[in-house]
Amino acid sequence: MTTPGPQGLQAERTALAWSRTSLAVLANGVLLILKEPRHYDRPAAVAAGLAGIVAVAVYVVGLRRQRILARPPLPNRVAPRTEVQLLGVAVVVLIAATAVSLFV
């Protein structure tokens, strides 16, 4: 059995990190749904839906990043600036929506 080279390990670590992030965002949505099952309010539903969308987006970006890092040679520009910035904004919006749903 051969061990993966540095690029293989980098792609694997990247995939694991994006998967964990996606799972954490999805767990946020599930917890919002389970907050008060008898009293399901609109802000929690919006925040849970947003969490689902962000979780899928994070997972898709993670898959794309894994494929880019697994192909030798690595591209000159490896950092996904635009994707990460958009996901960062989406996570901040999700945090705000979660806060609103918890305090309304």
Where in the chain are the domains? Answer: 6-103
Task: Estimate the share of the chain in helix, then strand, then coil, as percent rounded to the nearest 5.
Answer: 80, 0, 20
Measuring CA to CA, which residue among 72, 73, 87, 76 is closest to residue 18?
87
CB atoms within 10 A of CB 13: 12
The pTM score is 0.74
- DSSP for residue 37: T
pLDDT of 49-82, one tens digit each? 888 898 898 888 888 877 777 777 776 776 667 8
Q: Are 83 and 61 in contact (CB under 8 A)?
A: yes
**pLDDT tier, 1 (very low <50, low <70, confident <90, very high otherwise):** very low
